[in-house]
Amino acid sequence: MAKLKEEYSCALLLSMDLVGGKWKMRILWHIIHGDNRFSLLQKAMDDISEKMLTTQLRELESTGILNRKVIQEKPLNVQYALSDEHSKLGDVINALCDFSKDYGEKNGIVVHE
């Protein structure tokens, strides 16, 4: 699980521990934009392994960033959502995505959604 320190010398270091790495921001972006089930995330991010997706979702859940809701139906359905407490993170991720698109456009870098 996410190994958070008791103290950080910079707020951005905590942010990087919470949502940094190759997968977490991509996972959050997909969840924010409607891919809220494990199978939808797998389809949307076909370059992530099942084990890595599971690990990253568990870390995001353990830090309270994501809520996991089990819907008792057949087949079992699990849905993920950004927690209300941390909903501003969605705005940050969308703003970072917009920044990246603008930067790419201005610098001749192709950025796919």
Q: Contact, 2 vs 8, CB < 8 A? A: no
Q: What is the tally of structural domains in the chain?
A: 1
Say how far apart CA 89 and CA 106 lie, in whole Å. Answer: 26
Q: Is residue 94 part of a domain?
A: yes
Q: Is residue 6 part of a domain?
A: no
Q: How confident is the model at residue 112 (pLDDT cuts 50, 70, 90)?
A: confident
Q: Is residue 101 part of a domain?
A: yes
pLDDT in tens, 3-56: 889 999 999 999 999 999 999 999 999 999 999 999 999 999 999 999 999 999
Q: What domain range is 77 assigned to? A: 19-106
Q: Is residue 9 part of a domain?
A: no
**Domain containing residue 101: CATH number:** 1.10.10.10
Q: Is residue 30 part of a domain?
A: yes
Q: Is residue 4 part of a domain?
A: no
Q: Is residue 51 part of a domain?
A: yes
Q: Contact, 69 vs 81, CB < 8 A? A: yes
Q: Is residue 69 part of a domain?
A: yes
pTM beyond cutoff 0.75: yes
β-bridge mates for residue 68, sequence order: 80
Position 46 scores a pLDDT of 92
Q: How confident is the model at residue 73 (pLDDT cuts 50, 70, 90)?
A: confident
